[in-house]
Amino acid sequence: MGSVIFLAAMLIVAWFFVIRPQQRRVRAHQAVVSTLREGDDVMTTSGILGTIKKMDGDVLQLEVAPGIELRVVKGAIARQMEPEAGAQDADHDEKDAGTGAEAASAAEE
């Protein structure tokens, strides 16, 4: 009788620490895959970065470099890449630096 209770307790612990988190990861991945659209920047499970150019059912055409496209299955997409905030800040800093240099040269004259 005690071994049956122990076995049941072990199954509950295994479900709580192994099966349940795996189910969450699967649901999260399905949510990402279902929201994919043309033009999205994505990363595959193998780490390849690209932009979705065409979707045909479960097959995507992924542009990884100008003129280079790969055909991948939707399930191979690990995540969507978000626009980098650093790239936008760098553009903003360059514009500010240009304005500051122009203001400094105007002050010298």
What pLDDT was estimated at residue 65?
Answer: 94
Domains of the chain: 2-81 (2.30.30.140)
For residue 41, give the nearest of 50, 29, 54 by alpha carbon.
50
- The answer to whether residues 63 and 25 touch, using CB atoms and an 8 Å cutoff, is no
What pLDDT does residue 103 have? 43
Residue 34 to residue 11: CA distance in whole angstroms: 32
Coil, helix or strand at residue 50:
strand
The model scores a pTM over 0.85: no
pLDDT of residue 86: 53
Residues 61 and 76 sit within 8 Å (Cβ to Cβ):
no
Amino acid identity for residue 37 in this structure: R
Render pLDDT for 4-58 as a digit per residue (tens, 0 to 9).
999 999 999 888 888 888 999 999 889 888 889 999 999 999 999 999 999 998 9
pLDDT in tens, 59-96: 999 999 999 999 999 999 999 988 765 555 444 444 44
